[in-house]
A and B are shown apart, each in its own frame.
Chain A
C-alpha cells in the first residue's frame, strides 16, 4: 500500500477514514467504485475515531490515538495523516479530580457557525471542548460535576462518552450518549445536563425503565427536523420527535434488539440504516445484513446484495463502524471487526468490498472533499 498522500485530493472525491486496532487508514475514491486504501503514519495504536474537518479553510484530520502503554492522545494532521501534532494543552484531567484518561471515543467537529469548535468524548465519561481547532482543550464541568455521576456504571467498553450531537439549529442544545448511562441533554450550552431516556429499555437491570443507566450505543439527529433523533441501543432501536423527551421503539420486525451503529441518508433523512446482531455480537443468522428504513422506522428491509453469507460468516460492526456520505444517491460504508470495508454507492441497494485485510475496524468516518 502506498502511504496516504493529500496532494492529489480533488473536489468531490470521497474520503473514508478508518480507525482500526492498529492505526488510521484512508480509503479514497473519485467514483465510489474504485478505491485506494493507504495507511497514515499514525500506526500501531488503537484509533477509536477520526474526523476530517474542512471548516475554516482547513483540511484537518483529528484522530483518537489510544495507546496500549504510553497514554492516550488527541492528535491532528494538516497533511492528510503524514505528520501529526499534539495539542498545546491536551485532554488531561486535573490531578485533583482523581480521574485518568482511558480512551478517546469520539471526535465531532462543531457547527458550521463555529468553525474552530471541536468536541471530544472520552472514558471516563466526559465532554471536552476546543475553541481553537484542537490546540487547547477544556473539560465541560457541567457534565463532569453532574450530581448523579458517582452512580454511573460502565458498559463493557468502559464508562465512555461515545456520542456527541450538537444541535445544528440551537447552539445552546446538545445531546451526548454515555454507556451505560444513556442520553443526556443540555439546553444551556453545557452548564446543566438532564437525562433523556424515557421509554428506552435497560433490559439488563431490575428496573428496565430507569431514569438513567440505559446502554445507548449510538445516536444521530435528523438534519432538517431539529427535534428528531434516532438511536441504536443495547435494547432496541428508538426514535424521538421531541428532542429526546420521549422515545418510541422502532425495532418493529428487525430480528434483534441489539446492535451498535446507526446512520441516515442526509439527502433523504427518513432513510436510516442500522445493523443488528445476535448475542455473540455477530451478524444475526447466516447472512451479513444491513437494515434500512425509508419511512423513519415504520418498516425495515434487509440489504444483502454483495454482502457475504454462509455458515461461517461472523461479522461484527462496532458503534462507529457505519457512516454515510453526502452524495445522492447516498453512499453507505460499513467496517467490520475482521477488517473489511463494505461500500454501497446506491443507498444500500448493492455492496462491494472497498478495502480488506485491515486490522479490526473501530470507526468509519466519511467526507466529500470540498
Chain B
C-alpha cells in the first residue's frame, strides 16, 4: 500500500455555464432569472445550484434522484431527457434552460 498523499488543491472553477430559471423558481434565487455556474454534468450543476440556493434540487428532482416528470432541462437547445439525462455533459460556454412542461392543452 502506498503512503497516503496530500490531495492536490482543486483549482477554483470559473463559472462558465449560464443557467436560465423559470419564473416559478426565482423566489428561491432572490429573483435572479439566470445564474452562472461551473461546467460539469447536469447532476453536478444541480448540486451546485442547490448549494447556492438550498432546496432547489428538490424542485427539480424527486427524492430518488431522477428529474421530475414535468421538468425539462435543455443544454444548448437539446432536451437532456432524450440523451444522457442527468449525466449529460455541460461544457464551458453552454447555456442551460430549466423549463416546465407546457400546460393547458
Q: Are A69 and B65 in contact, CB atoms less than 8 angstroms apart?
A: no
Most A-side CB within 10 Å, residue of B58, B60, B70, B100: B58
**A92 CB within 8 Å of chain B:** yes
**B59 CB within 8 Å of chain A:** yes
Q: Tell me which of B60, B63, B103 contacts A70 (CB under 8 A).
A: B60
With contact pairs A69-B24, A69-B71, A71-B68 given, residues A100 and B59 touching in the complex (Cβ less than 8 Å): no
Q: Are A92 and B63 in contact, CB atoms less than 8 angstroms apart?
A: yes
Q: Tell me which of A44, A68, A95 contacts B65 (CB under 8 A).
A: A95
Q: Tell me which of B25, B60, B63, B103 contacts A68 (CB under 8 A).
A: B103
Task: List residues of chain A with CB within 8 A of the CB of B55.
Answer: 86, 90
Q: Are A99 and B71 in contact, CB atoms less than 8 angstroms apart?
A: no
Task: List residues of chain B with CB within 8 A of the CB of A99.
Answer: 63-64
Q: Are B100 and A71 in contact, CB atoms less than 8 angstroms apart?
A: no
Give 1 or 0 for each of A88-105: 1 = CB within 8 Å of chain B CB.
001011110111110000
8 closest residue pairs by CB, A with B: A69-B100, A70-B59, A100-B62, A93-B63, A69-B70, A71-B59, A92-B63, A71-B58
Q: Tell me which of B25, B60, B63 contacts A94 (CB under 8 A).
A: B63
Question: Which size class do A's interface residues fall under?
Answer: 10 to 19
Complexed CA–CA distance, A99 and B64 (Å)? 7
B11 CB to nearest chain A CB (Å): 30
Task: List residues of chain B with CB within 8 A of the CB of A98.
Answer: 64
Q: State the B residues within 8 Å of A (CB).
A: 24-25, 55, 58-60, 62-65, 68, 70-71, 100-101, 103
Q: Are A97 and B63 in contact, CB atoms less than 8 angstroms apart?
A: yes
A-B pairs with beta carbons under 8 A, tally: 43
Q: Are A70 and B64 in contact, CB atoms less than 8 angstroms apart?
A: no
Q: Are B64 and A100 in contact, CB atoms less than 8 angstroms apart?
A: yes
A45 CB to nearest chain B CB (Å): 9
- Name A91-134 residues within 8 Å CB distance of B: 92-95, 97-101
Complexed CA–CA distance, A92 and B68 (Å)? 14
Q: Are B64 and A68 in contact, CB atoms less than 8 angstroms apart?
A: no
Q: A70-B24, A73-B58 are in contact. List 5 more A-B contacts (CB 8 A).
A: A71-B68, A95-B63, A99-B64, A100-B62, A101-B62
Select from chain B the residue with minimum beta-carbon distance to A69: B100
B61 CB to nearest chain A CB (Å): 9
Task: List residues of chain A with CB within 8 A of the CB of B103.
Answer: 68-69
Complexed CA–CA distance, A194 and B21 (Å)? 46
What are 5 residue pairs bridging A and B, where the CB atoms are less than 8 Å apart in the complex?
A44-B24, A69-B100, A86-B55, A99-B63, A101-B62
